[in-house]
Amino acid sequence: MNRKEQVKYTAWGAVAGAVLIMIIGFSWLGWTLESTAKKMAAEQVNAAVVGVLTPRCVERFMNQPGAAAKLTELKAI
């Protein structure tokens, strides 16, 4: 095998290895793109804010005058 063929096989091996590593990384190792990570972070932040503020909102709603009537009205919707 001459030098030119060795370089060609080495280059193709490197390309195949890089593709294989990317397939394994994104499929089984949990790698994500930056845009996907930002979307996931935004969803987690929104869920956390709702989880923290919900009890306070319910408490304020129940403490206002006529809460029982308003609750019945909301349940009808």
pTM for this model (two decimals):
0.57
pLDDT per position as a tens digit, 29-65: 989 999 999 999 999 999 999 999 999 999 999 999 9
Is residue 1 scored above 80 in pLDDT? no
Helix, coil or strand: residue 31: coil
Domain layout of the chain by residue ranges:
1-31, 32-77
Residues 6+ apart with CB under 8 A from 67: 61
Name the percent of the chain lying above pLDDT 70: 100
What gap in Å lies between CA 72 and CA 49, rounded to an integer?
26
In the 8-state DSSP scheme, what is residue 29?
S
Which sign, positive or negative, has the C-alpha torsion 62, 65, 68, 70? negative
pLDDT band at 74 (very low <50, low <70, confident <90, very high): confident
